[in-house]
Amino acid sequence: MAPTKHRNSLLAPFWQADKRGRWKRGQPRDRAIDRGRLQFVLTSIKPEDRMSFLQTFARIRVINLPERRDRRRAMTRELQKLGVADDPRVKFFSAIRPDEKGDFTSVGARGVYESQLALLKQAANAGDSILILEDDCTFRQDAAAYCSKLSWHLFYGGYYASDPSDLHSSDIIGAHMMGFSATGARMVVQYLEKLEYQGIHPPIDAAYVWFRRARPEIETEFATPPLAYQRRSRSDIADLALYDRIPLVKSLINTLRAWQPRNPF
């Protein structure tokens, strides 16, 4: 039986009909996908049906400064928790580190913005869905079991909401676990490249909120409760405190932070 057509563009690249009208598995646009991990329903797929959120992404990218080997090690452990540490879809992306902060509040804030925008452009150009992770993510123990809807274009896996009772209207802080369909990535890139602002440039999490308010018809899913939070570690965005600039003291502080995760769950 042919897979029923559906609205979600995330699944479409993986199925195609041959000249005789027979359905078969197509070639994913991202050849790095581990096909053994992709389990798609071959019969009727209804919009209300749900599937593991990890299965919906052709790309999973982790933003990491090369010199932050501590964060890379910690993030590798977190990916093991999800069962995707060795998944070929997962790649570490060398974070952009601008020389100047420009209109942003800091060089780090600008780097986060430009890094996420660069990944979105790559995904949009390839026609791929993408999950973008910051390297300070810590996942809930049951995060891998979370099932998402089939019809979203933006997916918030980690966030802090000013009004948890009304997530779609709430101000949102955090962009440490963001998912985009191929269509969502393309629309967000188009919006960010023409973003108009006055004074201070908004950080990436605020820019995503602006986009959703400008395009309220765009379907967005919030994992409830969030699947990830940001663990305590030396900031790459804010100006460093004195103890984070002294090598021996910095090492001790990072060890203490690792034992004190900021876990709201």
The residue-averaged pLDDT of 41-49 equals 40
Contact 54, 144 (CB under 8 A): yes
10 Cβ contact list (under 8 Å, min separation 6): 56, 57, 58, 129, 150, 181, 182
Does the pLDDT value for residue 162 go beyond 60? yes
The residue-averaged pLDDT of 144-162 equals 92
Q: What is the pLDDT of residues 221-235, one digit of tens each?
A: 999 999 999 987 655
Q: How far is CA 34 from CA 31, 44, 122, in A?
A: 8, 24, 19
Dihedral Cα 218, 192, 94, 245, nearest 10 deg = -110
The residue-averaged pLDDT of 135-145 equals 95
Contact 137, 177 (CB under 8 A): yes
**Cα 192 off chain centre by:** 16
Does the pLDDT value for residue 205 go beyond 90? yes
Dihedral Cα 205, 207, 211, 212, nearest 10 deg = 30
* Count of Cβ atoms closer than 10 Å to residue 230 Cβ: 20
Task: Indicate the burial class of 224 (C-beta count within 10 angstroms; 0-12, 13-18, 19 or more).
Answer: exposed
Task: List, in order of start, the domains of the chain with CATH numbers.
Answer: 53-230 (3.90.550.50)
134 Cβ contact list (under 8 Å, min separation 6): 62, 63, 112, 175, 176, 177, 230
Identify the H or E element spanning 256. Answer: helix 247-258
Looking up tokens 């910051």 gives 134
Q: Whats the size of the chain, residue-wise?
A: 265
Handedness of CA 157, 162, 164, 170 (dihedral sign): negative
Q: Note if the bond before 47 is cis, omega within 30 degrees.
A: no
Q: pLDDT tier at 194 (50, 70, 90 boundaries)?
A: very high
Contact 232, 161 (CB under 8 A): no
Q: pLDDT tier at 148 (50, 70, 90 boundaries)?
A: confident
Does the pLDDT value for residue 85 go beyond 70? yes
Judging by DSSP bridges, how do beta strands 220-222 and 154-161 pair with one another?
Answer: parallel
Assigned token pair, 40: 């798609």
- Least reliable range by pLDDT among 8-17, 43-52, 230-239: 8-17
pTM (2 d.p.): 0.73
Identify the H or E element spanning 212. Answer: helix 204-214
Q: What is the pLDDT of residues 33-43, one digit of tens each?
A: 333 333 333 23
